[in-house]
Amino acid sequence: MMLVILGTFLGIIFGPSLFILVPYIRNYFAGAICKSKAKLNGKVVLITGANTGIGKETARDLAKRGARVILACRDAAKGEVAACEIRAETGNQQVIMKKLDLADTKSIRQFAENFLAEEKELHILINNAGVMLHPYAKTVDGFEMHLGVNYLGHFLLTFLLLERLKQSAPARIVNVSSLAHLVGRIRFHDLQGEKFYQRGLAYCQSKVANVHFTRELARRLQGTGVTVNALHPGTVQSELTRYSSVVSLLWKMFSFFLKTPQEGAQTSIYCAVAEELESVTGQYFRCGVCTVLMCCGYIKRAPNPPLTAYISQQINTLYMNLGSPIHQNL
């Protein structure tokens, strides 16, 4: 009885104020928005994994700014639906879907070859596609799936398109990493997870590789007019949790506190268009967490030269083993 009276009392006192506070709480979790009004007419943008989630919303925004946007998608049917939707909504007919499977280096090479034949310029490359908590599996070329898709696939794609980016300078490369990189370790002794595999750690490993790759590539690209930055988009309600029913359920239960894909795309958009980032390179960005009107800020992660050098050398070796000459491109 006492509890009912107390509950009613608290409800009367705090109920209305909670109701008023809800939009503010929601805005807090939505994070910062990109305030740049930059137009992208005449610019060519390539976004991987753009048929859904953060990639699709990034594509929608950049299409609104007038860019020619190429959606590089594994599932051509889903990709075409997304491209049609963006064309219809934005009126921009320069939104095109191309097939790309980052888990297959043949597909990546084929994609790059077609792209270079058809597109004379590339101003913004957004390496967005990703998998998380994937059960143990290998890509067509024998790489552990997270490492292969999230990191190595984008690594190969970037190198194959690098000369076009340099020719189109000023140009930007945006690598969608994750906060998960902070707990990530590169397990050099068991890179492919053959001795020990834990899905979460495999995801973190691929994301820390993104960050170090960003830093190393930025160093090597100094003076070329091509910048490269990495980012964490926030915790976003998307299809990323598809391989874990438990995490999918948790994501649904706490959806109020998660970003929508549109909110999650803001940091990618910011890195791709913000005028003040014209010459900023080798940085890791995350969304401002305090107020929805705050511009995204960036934080520096301490460089780790020995680790970076080791990654660089390991990756070159990996690709040399695949018979690829890409290590010579830098």
Ligand X SMILES: NC(=O)c1ccc[n+]([C@@H]2O[C@H](COP(=O)([O-])OP(=O)(O)OC[C@H]3O[C@@H](n4cnc5c(N)ncnc54)[C@H](OP(=O)(O)O)[C@@H]3O)[C@@H](O)[C@H]2O)c1
Tell me if 98 contacts ligand X by CB under 6 A. no
Q: Which one among 31, 184, 193, 233 touches ligand X, defined by CB under 6 A? A: 233
Catalytic residue among 28, 151, 203, 298: 203
d(CA 254, CA 231): 23
Could you give the strand order of the β-sheet that contains 226-232, starting from the edge strand earlier in sequence? 95-99, 68-73, 44-48, 124-127, 171-176, 226-232, 284-286, 297-299
DSSP per-residue string spanning 277-330: GTT--S-EEE---S-TTSPPEEEPPPP-HHHHHHHHHHHHHHHHHTT--GGGG-
What does each C-alpha distance from 189 to 90, 201, 239 come to in angstroms? 48, 14, 31
Tell me if 288 contacts ligand X by CB under 6 A. no
* CB of 63 closer than 8 Å to CB of 298: no
Tell me if 54 contacts ligand X by CB under 6 A. yes
Q: State the nearest-atom distance from the C-beta of 328 to ligand X, in Å.
A: 25
Binding mask 15-34 for ligand X (x = CB under 6 A): --------------------
Q: Which one among 46, 240, 318, 326 touches ligand X, defined by CB under 6 A? A: 240
Task: Please give the size of the binding site for ligand X, defined by CB under 6 A.
Answer: 30
Q: State the nearest-atom distance from the C-beta of 153 to ligand X, in Å.
A: 7
Tell me if 178 contacts ligand X by CB under 6 A. yes
Query: Segment 144-173, which members bind ligand X (CB under 6 A)?
Result: 149-150
DSSP state for residue 276 in the 8-state scheme: G
Binding mask 111-150 for ligand X (x = CB under 6 A): -----------------xxxxx----------------xx
Tell me if 49 contacts ligand X by CB under 6 A. yes
**Burial tier of 256 (Cβ tally within 10 Å: 0-12, 13-18, 19+):** exposed
Would you say 78 or 87 has its CB closer to ligand X? 78
Tokens of 21: 């506070």
- Measured from the Cβ of residue 218, the count of other Cβ atoms closer than 10 Å reads 19
- Measured from the Cβ of residue 22, the count of other Cβ atoms closer than 10 Å reads 10
Q: Which one among 34, 62, 98, 101 touches ligand X, defined by CB under 6 A? A: 101
Would you say 8 or 255 has its CB closer to ligand X? 255
Amino acid of residue 30 = A
Instruction: Tell me the window of 22-30, 113-121, 161-169, 227-235 that interacts with ligand X (CB under 6 A).
Output: 227-235
Among 74, 27, 24, which Cα is nearest to 53's?
74
Tell me if 78 contacts ligand X by CB under 6 A. yes
Whether 203 is catalytic is: yes
> Which positions are catalytic?
203
Task: Give me the residues that bind ligand X (CB under 6 A), please.
Answer: 48-49, 51-55, 74-75, 78, 100-103, 128-132, 149-150, 176, 178, 232-233, 235-236, 238-240
